[in-house]
Amino acid sequence: MKQNAVVSLRDINFKYSNEVILNNISLDIFDKEFITLLGPSGCGKTTTLRIIAGFETPQSGEVYFEGKQINDLPPHKRNVNTVFQKYALFPHLNVFDNVAFGLKLKKLSKSEIERKVKQMLAIVDLKGYEKRPVRELSGGQQQRVAIARALVCDPKVVLLDEPLGALDLKLRKDMQIELKQLQQKTQKTFVYVTHDQEEALTMSDRVCVMNNGVIAQVGTPEDIYNEPANAFVADFIGEANIINGTMLEDCKVRLLGVELDCVDKGFEKNKPVDVVIRPEDIEVVAPDRAKLSGVVEDVIFKGVHFEISVRCNNCQWLIHSTVAQKVGDRIGMRVDPFNIHIMDKMFLNPTNDIFTEVYYSDKENNTTTFLLEGSEVTIPDVYYKEGTKLKIVLPPDALYIAGDGVGQLDEVYIESVIWKGEHNEIILESDERKWIMQSDIDEQVATYVPLCFDFSKAEISEVAADE
Amino acid sequence: MSSNSTASASAAKTRVPAAPHKQRSFMKSKRPAIPYLGWMLIFTIVPLVMVVYYAFTDSKGHFSLEAFENASVYSEVFLYSLLIALISTVICLVLAYPLAFSISRCSQRAQSTIVMFLMVPMWMNFLLRIYAWVLILQNYGPLDMILNFFGIDITLIGNSGAVIVGMVYEFLPFMILPLHTVMSKIDPSLIEAAQDLGCNRIGVFRKVIFPLSIPGIISGVTMVFVPTASTFLVAQYLGGTQFMIGDVIERVFQSDHHTGSAIAVVLMVVILGCLVFMNRFGDEEAVS
């Protein structure tokens, strides 16, 4: 399917005071589509939208609008209009004047403006509200005014920055459907930003999942849900059991000591992979009829289904089933091969390897100190001569976040936190490299933390000088 | 003893749930305003009533408009004072508005630092500041010498210009502060929204920033115009023989309470009229 792109982003890089917000983003937005930029807060989705609107200029990369480069075109000359997160309605103007704001600037005749505004207010269900001051409107009504104000200018592309975030759940659901219908009725390109995955799946023609300044996956809602590109997408969209596994050969994967059939091919032999199984794809059977079995720990009624939590070899599984189970019962879990999704690990090395040189050492106290990203790190109970080349292998459980706020590495960024059945797998980013950490604590993504190392769990070896 | 303490403990326990309720009623109550209301009654309302009483009576205590007749002698000084106040206010506004706007675009920290520096002159005594201007502007003072050096021979002190300079210097912060407060509260997303809908920079200013800053203009103008119209000493030191109405009131009041009060009442009514007019104008502007 060849469609013409209305907006194209090419290799966009954006930094804000030395912090990388967008890292080489490329994206085509097609005519008349409803595309959603989805991701956790701090992933760069709003910045992407602001670059299209013209409020931010990327440090490198190109923005194209209908084939023309518009990097330096100011916002007021772009054929796009924005619906702002907190509506940004003009408090000194009434509903009519707010909606007419853009049209008046286009120097249309008075009767034309009046006709268009009336028509647009009718579309957003605000007939008769023309003379009301905007501050007297409810959140939902303000929202509609903001949408009308953007749409009435007849832009090629409408940008919406979490426009439903401030509304309550019921209103939000109604507005989701209304917005989708509005988009179809007006035949405009909508670029929608949200962190709500359900909203994204409901409304979009295509979803662009973003994480930490890069695009993780672009595809239809079905693609994103059924064939997530990596564990992050699987975790972010819907619920998923994500378990560490090993690819034995084509169509054969081992997890939790059990060999299972799958349909994925082309992985290296014995390669560590992430295995994703959606909770609704697990069939509850008698324990002897399935390779995987476990004990029911918790059952919660969710209306449509039961949410069943099962412990199997120290690993917590989540199952959605229409049949209730008894807590304490042993059940079997059967999964069809095509419902087992295999994906490459986001962090390829299973351990954190440091190659370094001893900075100084203290024979008396039996310590060795090396430099890590400019700060001194001391290994207790180990002595190597100064200048010795070392390889330090830190397994994921040798890393921890300092509770007292003083880490061996400060200001380390939490890139992702994924529950792997037994513990959280956390990927961190310091100034020079990435780290993989295991933790039972739910850390907050996109925050900065002090990182510590437990060298008693590390494997330290000397490296021959000629290496 | 022990029974006593348990009793008081239980009493304290029963009082606990009542506490939040009490606090809430305290938050809503208007009682905290009583000290100020008392202060205002004694030191503002009562003197005001006395001033009005003196203005409308003669020396024997009978009702009389004689004081106003006497006061009409000073009508020229009166108009001159209003004119000086108007010019000073306009100059303050012209200087303060762009400054307040640029300050409000700075980072939060820079804003509070700049505002603090603007307040620095106010840490000094009012009289000292006026004396400073006398020293700067006087004949054979530094400014006069510099101008003489370039062959310009004018008198800098003892005229309306010097009075206006003094007024602007004294009251400029009172114009900047309210303007800055209002402008720093303008949501930056409103500016972006205006740009998004097709406004260039001038449009953003005309259609968003200016209308939203009108409340700041009104309070700034009020805070500058009222004191400049009624202040004294500035004209005495910088204006030579041309006094302002504040100085007149000061002089006259010492010898004749009734005429002094009459001038004060007229000044009050005129200023009040100006403020009402301006607020009306501001409201209309904000609606349209």
pLDDT computed for residue A206 by the predictor: 94
Q: Tell me the residue range of the domain where B148 lies.
A: 69-287
Name the residue among B190, B207, B212 with its Cβ closest to that of A88. Answer: B190
* Residues of chain A positioned with their CB less than 8 A from the CB of B203: 76, 105
Name the residue among B190, B192, B203 with its Cβ closest to that of A90. Answer: B190
B9 — pLDDT class (breaks 50, 70, 90)? very low
Asked whether residue B18 carries a pLDDT value surpassing 60, the answer given is no
Using one digit for the tens of pLDDT, what is the confidence trace for B96-109?
999 999 998 888 89
Domain contains B260: yes
**Superfamily in which the A239-344 domain is placed by CATH:** Nucleic acid-binding proteins (2.40.50.140)
Asked whether residue B21 carries a pLDDT value surpassing 60, the answer given is no
Report domain A5-231's class.
alpha beta
CATH number at residue B166: 1.10.3720.10
Task: Give the closest-approach CA distance of B60 to chain A in angstroms.
Answer: 56
Lowest-confidence segment of A243-252, B15-24, B158-167 by average pLDDT: B15-24
Domain contains B60: no
pLDDT computed for residue A441 by the predictor: 82
Number of domains in chain B: 2
pLDDT computed for residue A322 by the predictor: 87
Q: Is the ipTM of this complex over 0.85?
A: no
pLDDT computed for residue A405 by the predictor: 73
Q: What average pLDDT values come out for chain A (467 residues) when binned by 10 residues?
A: 77 87 91 91 89 92 91 90 91 92 89 92 87 88 90 92 84 87 90 91 92 91 88 86 84 83 82 87 85 87 88 85 86 87 80 86 85 85 84 87 81 84 85 86 82 86 69
pLDDT computed for residue B25 by the predictor: 63
pLDDT computed for residue B5 by the predictor: 42
Name the residue among B190, B192, B198 with its Cβ closest to that of A105. Answer: B198
Asked whether residue B282 carries a pLDDT value surpassing 80, the answer given is no
- Which residue in chain B is spatially nearest to A50 when comparing CA positions? B192
Whether B86 and B221 share a structural domain: yes
From first CA to last CA, the distance across chain B in angstroms is: 75
**Residue-wise burial string across B82-109, b where 16 or more C-beta atoms lie within 10 A, e elsewhere:** bebbebbbebbbeebbebbbebbeeeee
**Domain extents for chain A?**
5-231, 239-344, 352-462
Domain contains B63: no
B7 — pLDDT class (breaks 50, 70, 90)? very low
B220 — pLDDT class (breaks 50, 70, 90)? very high
pLDDT computed for residue B13 by the predictor: 40
Asked whether residue B232 carries a pLDDT value surpassing 60, the answer given is yes
Chain-chain contact of A88 with B193 (C-beta, under 8 angstroms): yes
How many alpha carbons lie under 13 Å from residue B204 in its C-beta half-sphere?
A: 18
Q: Which residue has the higher pLDDT, A218 or B64?
A: A218
Task: State mean pLDDT over B254-267.
Answer: 89
Whether B127 and B263 share a structural domain: yes
Q: Which residue has the higher pLDDT, B8 or B46?
A: B46
Question: What share of chain B in percent tops pLDDT 90?
Answer: 34
